Copies of this chain bind each other. A is one copy, B any other.
């Protein structure tokens, strides 16, 4: 039987675990309190003001039901607003507030530092190889996820 420590599933979880820990540490050290999901959602809404929750979920590859809670907490923190869409009364229109924009700008160095630290053990060349292969594997498996990425 294959050793647990060589299994893609085990390694995937551990890498993600480490990535989240680094993100939290860097962001907290900079004085902020955003989680990785909250950051991704907020950044996406900033790029696409007025986006609805389902589209947002597809663009950052999260489940609809998870996004409900994430948006809830972001609204509670005053970083974005959620209003009924005039065009589609089922949908909610999301907008980043001034406070949200300020946080996004201020938090960016910490987020970038975190991304670098996650691959600190690899040489620059290895980083390129690794990310390319990771993306290739993800693309092949995208449809198998409950929350596939939907862009374009």
- List residues of chain A with CB under 8 Å of any chain B CB: 1-2, 4-23, 25, 36, 40, 43-44, 60-61, 108, 112, 114-115, 117-122, 126, 129-131, 133-142, 144-147, 149
Contacts and interface: CB of A to CB of B under 8 A. Distances in A.
Contact of A14 (B1, B20, B129, B145): B145
Contacts of A44: 4
A4 B147 contact: no
Nearest to A149: B14
A17 B131 CA distance: 17
4 closest A-B pairs by CB: A121-B140, A18-B141, A16-B16, A130-B133
A10 B149 CA distance: 11
* Most B C-beta atoms less than 10 A away, residue of A7, A112, A115, A147: A7
A137 B146 CA distance: 27
Question: So how many copies of this chain end up in the complex?
Answer: 2
A22 B6 CA distance: 17
Contacts of A2: 112, 115
B144 A18 contact: yes
B137 A15 contact: yes
Contacts of A131: 6, 8, 11
B121 A137 contact: yes
Contact of A17 (B19, B61, B115, B121): B61
